[in-house]
């Protein structure tokens, strides 16, 4: 068996995707080791989730730093000694600057509640409803210096049904997210998915379109 994938998970709030990753590790379906859960909010419930499973935690509050660059430098100083294979953004509500992204190039993953490139940014459920979409979804992508603009690795979609509101879409999206992140991480750990200088390959072939994982 290959060695566990070393992860650092960054959160800002509830941490439900963190919990899905923890559950997959403990169930034996994901061969990974979470070396640290880091939050920028001291009251993030995800910190409690991590502590319940004996996972190390750290709070670095962005409000304690005079600039985004200073905050990013503090993140780097904390994370680099851990030598994570991947930085997993799981509801981390801060935009990371170019120096941080460059230090972990090709190794930062983010999950976004839309079918990128559609609906970048916030409030995607309401915007999809207002846009009259028939489907919405989830994307996991590599993080680059541009917001929600890195190569998309995996997508899943679900139907928008008559009467659905933003809360309904969020519930559907979360169910899908909680399957997608552990699955993608396991593919990375197995070598089925490889990333080299932003060149992504799946089963030895260049990835020309996002992989799919639908309900």
Bridge partners, 201 (sequence order): 194, 206
Instruction: Annotate 166-193 with b (16+ C-beta within 10 A) or e (fewer).
Output: eeebbebbeebbbbbbbbbbbbbbeeeb
Q: Strands 193-196, 152-159: parallel, antiparallel or unpaired by DSSP?
A: unpaired
Q: Which of 53, 112, 178, 202 is catalytic?
A: 112
Closest by alpha carbon to 61, among 81, 76, 43, 36? 43
Closest by alpha carbon to 124, among 178, 173, 182, 181? 173
Between the two ends of the chain, the Cα-to-Cα distance in Å is 29
59, 37 in Cβ contact below 8 A?
no
Is-catalytic flag, 112? Answer: yes
CA distance 28 to 32: 9
Torsion angles phi and psi, residue 184, rounded to 5: -60, -45
Catalytic (active-site) positions: 112
């Amino acid at each position: 068996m290959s060695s566990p994938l070393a992860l650092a998970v960054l959160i800002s709030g509830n941490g439900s995707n963190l919990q899905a990753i923890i559950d997959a590790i403990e169930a034996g379906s994901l061969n990974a080791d979470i070396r640290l859960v880091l939050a920028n909010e001291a009251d993030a419930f995800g910190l409690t989730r991590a502590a319940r499973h004996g996972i190390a935690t750290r709070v670095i509050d962005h409000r304690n730093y005079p600039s985004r660059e200073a905050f990013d430098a503090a993140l780097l100083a904390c994370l680099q000694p851990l030598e994570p294979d991947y930085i997993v953004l799981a509801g981390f509500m801060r935009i990371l600057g170019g120096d941080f992204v460059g230090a972990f190039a090709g190794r930062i993953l983010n999950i976004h509640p839309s079918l990128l490139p559609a609906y970048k940014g916030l409030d995607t459920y309401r915007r999809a409803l207002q846009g009259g979409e028939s489907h919405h979804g989830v994307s996991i992508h590599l993080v680059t210096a541009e917001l929600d603009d890195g190569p998309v690795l995996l997508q899943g979609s679900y139907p928008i049904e008559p009467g659905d509101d933003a809360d309904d879409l969020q519930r559907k999206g979360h169910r899908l997210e909680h399957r997608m992140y552990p699955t993608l991480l396991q593919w990375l750990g197995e070598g089925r998915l490889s990333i080299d200088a932003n060149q992504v390959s799946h089963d030895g072939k260049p990835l020309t379109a996002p992989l799919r994982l639908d309900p």
